[in-house]
Chain A
């Protein structure tokens, strides 16, 4: 039936709803202050000189050979990480979806893949140095090589691939699971070999997913700050680290800002490509429900073993990295003195106590705010009609889509001086986290609401409930999973992120991740390892708790949040 576009919640009805109007106004004020204003200030600072529009700031960057190299390096690194990570992610996703694995093995793969996603960003980087550095376990102890340099493209690349391939896995797995296995069965029944089926049916159906995974990984690598800072060294400068060094090393705020803006161009291109090109080319609709299970073996027994072996190898490397990190935190000095000690933990719980509390307080405050922000904004933009609804959704996604370096520098510039002076407070860090990671909750809320038919709300209304009661008794319980998912992501990122907030920490408020970086540069690797282990443990506890809460909400038939990581 053709239904008119307007409905009971139409514009006319809304204008009379003061609660909604007030909420929309408050959200716009917050978005203006914490999203639009900082970015505008950043643009103004770089593109205007003495009140005049000027490209001089950008031109300086583009003509400086060293900076230009950093730009190309960033693109190269991003592309390579994109390709490598997509291949690895596809390997895992395909194995998980097609190799008929027993349940425990799937769980094991899921856990191994989850590990890099919830760790502080440089855990693999640290493990790389422990393994392949001048006194690394592999290079020095095992192979007896001397004078090896770990720094450069190779180590940065492999470290980033191991860190980010789970994103590709999470994108591709549901896609592979949703491909109707009857399609493959049909091709097989028409006489195609398994390899031919894979090549002519399975792979083509995955192409949009692969492109999507590549773009996500490219963007993640482009924005990655911690890994190159530790591993890239002088030989392989990339944009985010150059921007950071420009600001902290040379106290050149404007130059750093200009560098970060150069980063904006590829980041924006990727975002637009992903959102408006790739996303429209999916053949397979991922509904969250798995398609009927494969009625035949789509891969041969030999291939199954090969796939499993490959996955096991990768998983073993990841586990080795984390075991090494744990070991390094428990010995006096890895590579020199392997006596077991709790010294490093003593250090972090005494000298590092303040930074641990700071981080927990900030994460603890950002968490509920981010969760609330996510469901309120997500609900408004999907279920209510008001002027600027689409714009609000887009603006809310900005800090999420931009590389952290840009957001961090923008906040630094915007809130350093009056009229809004927030530098040195906890508030600036909290705001950064809420508006940068809250959008995961928005996405989850929107996705959940799209699964919930509008007739549910109409049914409640038809039974005599007003819009307040309907929201409280019907809508809210159904979107609670999104609230907790958003909450979880904000907490995890508050514990592990660094790219934006490294510009925002102060003597009064600092973060564990920043402290780890300081330790790394001071070469106190033991405490750095201990801090990393602590963060991983805290994050895993929180994930387990939230997982439990989510399960409690999983009433039969209720819509579910498929992933709480979101990106």
Chain B
């Protein structure tokens, strides 16, 4: 049953550019899927391991800048840059993890917030590398063939399929992760860190590995962002708002679930894009409202609640 639903959902994702040529809708779908990857990234650490980070924009920004800089200065195509950006995000996460994971609970969260602000200010002021507030702009993307035809980078469709692959890949990673021994350890850490240590779980190591994986996904999404929008500056890729939106998507969708982030992203991004047209930052008000309603009425998130309702329905039908 779950496989059928998953296969159907992937089929729908494949079909979207065939079903519509409306550029706004395709752009919306791209945005939704990019935020899905970010929600998944945050969910690995925040949902499964219970370590609430308010600084995930750091890894997104590092990935975005790495991709842009590698292309502008070394001519490395962004699709390679994207992967390297992810790896660099993971590398940056290691010292951050070693420092912040010395703290627990709210103190950890505050530390991640502080680190993210430091990184943003570095990006803003380290002009030799980042061009500071001016930002980095790329005008054209390198020529590449898909099969025998050249990819048309002026169309949104190639970007759509690229980000769709990333989102589906990230969901598969989450699925494998949640069933692994490390995934089980994270649940233990989320429930009680002392007890986890007392039964031989190296909690520091488990958290650092998870953060690195999470940072890798955020970095790749950042690389995609740079490539798709062709412009990055510190306010676009390092703001606190970005870190917070990742939290919203994971929480509203459903913490520690595979499909939660895509459900949260579809819901929040779609509605916020509609709001954004009318009120400049109105979507954040909407985000906050959804967050409050979710915490009060759907603590398991939209997907968590849907899953529970379905299980109950099946059970009732059988009896």
A and B from one complex? no
Q: Taking beta carbons and an 8 Å cutoff, which residues of A are in contact with B?
A: none
